[in-house]
Structure 1
Amino acid sequence: MNLQPDFGQRDFSSRGFLRLLETFRLTGNWGWTFGTNEHVWSPGFYRLLGLEPGAVRPSYDLFVALMHPEDRYRIQTAEQVTAGGLLQECNVRVIRPDGSIRVLWSRGEVLVTPEGRPRAASGVILDVTDRELLARARDIERRWRLAVFEQTRLIQFTSQASGAPLVPTELCTLTGLPREEIEADHFATVAQQEREASRSQITEQLMAGQPIHVRTLTRLKDQPPERFHGIGVPIRDRSAAILEWAIITYPAGGPCAISDLAREGLEQAVQGHHLRAARALLDWSMLELATASGLSFSTIRRLEDGEEKRASRSRHTAIAALRTAGIRFMFLDDNTIAVARR
């Protein structure tokens, strides 16, 4: 049984794409702690509003004040965010101090206390005014991923939980199969002698809704079939329903890079006994984990007792604290998660 890379390690990630967008001055992010009313804006956030980074004190009211008066109704009031926990996705126009207007797409998330009270919020904005510039940034990302594929034959893509999975161009290039053939039968990429067995195994594991790791004999263009790893990770919403799957395929023995989306899904699969094992490796009590993570003792106890929802942000916070202390979480060949200490 071979250990897979620590899924805390990131590469070729969505955050990497956001950093790329920020270099194009197309995106920015923000955070707001309700208890202290502290706001944090990234340099890109300031620039999208037409402000020099650090030139003004960030606040939600300032953000709303810079919006076009006709668009302010689209975004929640400060009271709706802090008291009601509402923060919906929307498009708004912003009027910069120089009089120019930009169209921004805004998306955020409200974090809550163990008792369910809103405690903080964070979000990202994307400048969608210049579609051509945005398309250029996406083209750079596409070429970046293609370069990674050409060097490693590693493919990463997502598939919606409902509807037909998207077929990445790299998969067609790897196998030499037309997109239409793969769309008609997603197991067409598997060598004939193993196709039905792989279909049965993977379908059963997908129905279970758990992260899966398989090794399939994959058809290659103008070459004999070769063994490839396939990792599928469900991404859940707050109600634990599966929204999409993050999928990674790479040659057996080759490098594996875990995307941010796949990492998020794998962390959602970390259970109470994994956290207890991690604490034991560090010789930590629940109170020490609570202190290190900034979570309450009762939240740690609920996480370890399995009472927190899969998509709870507290789970990711606890894992981040353990990882900082030297814990590694690894996804094994047998679809289980192992815990180790560096």
Structure 2
Amino acid sequence: MSEVLEHKSRTNMTYNIPNLAFSSREFLRMIESFGLSGNWGWHFARNEYIWSSGMYKLFGIEDGSVQPDYELFRSLVHPEDRAKLEDAGQILHEGILGNHTFRIVRPDGTMRMVLSRGDVYFTPDGAPAGAAGVVLDITNQQRAALAVRVHNDRQRAVFEHGMIVPWVWTGDGQALHAPGWCELTGIAPEDLQRDWHAPIEDRAAILQKFAEARERGEASSLDFAAKLADGNRVALRALMVPVSNGGGPVREWTGLTFPPTSATPEPKRQPLAPGNEQLVRGLHLRAARGLLDWTLSDLAEASKLSLSTIRRLEEDADGPLARSRHAVVQALRQAGIAFTIVEGTTLAVAKVA
């Protein structure tokens, strides 16, 4: 009986739970620990300019190793982007401070894309009294957006060249992505998912074959005729390939639709001429290393350059460093990499030995 009463008394006890809220400063420190953001403040009358720990980290400078000021900030901005930023006088005397996207170059030569947002604070009589702002590293987002644009441009070029339409269907056969199909057939984009098959002749039979292919879960091709937006009729072939998660159930279908008898001319190619090594950018160097299964250190050793130089070249650092690109290209060529200009504008990388 006593044990039961003791248990009840314990369950009815009130505990003093500590306050779980924490300050905005602690919250900011948590965010900045990712190394992707920093904030700054500037008191005009005292000429006091401060950086948070995140700002030092973002700019690749040891925390507290230098006394920051606005000119240091501007000096770390890529020379081609400095004109976007206000000078100190515009901020101090006119209270002008905009929002900008620009590149920064760290002391070790690495380059990042950042987004800057700031505000100017004024006295009651309207004079600028101070400013504060935040800087965010958006390099990865920019690279992802660029990759999407490049991918879309490639698909567009293929479509315009030979009426080749890439497709993505859901597992149950609904169209998700078919750049060029609406333009080719005149279907409204909002009708693609529901009526992608509307221009196909004898579509009931074709859809039945498509359903049978999905049921088998294996790659297949279908020949059919479709009515184009201009009223003409064209013969097409659809190649459909299942996409699964590591050998599991089919997640989606992908493939191409193209004229089966179209002749695709061989693109014009010519070797990269000596003196045009500036056309070889970081993505080409990374691709070449991948073909050779080389590390950064392997490429540094072969080109007799420092590891940091190779890293900066792969991040598209410009200026005097760009002269080292010739040595890197030469080392890759000697290892069996060919750099070729395709159709006069595109640089292709291939392993030939």
What band does the TM-score fall into relative to the shorter chain? 0.3 to 0.5
Q: Which has the larger radius of gyration?
A: 2
Tell me the TM-score normalized by structure 1: 0.35
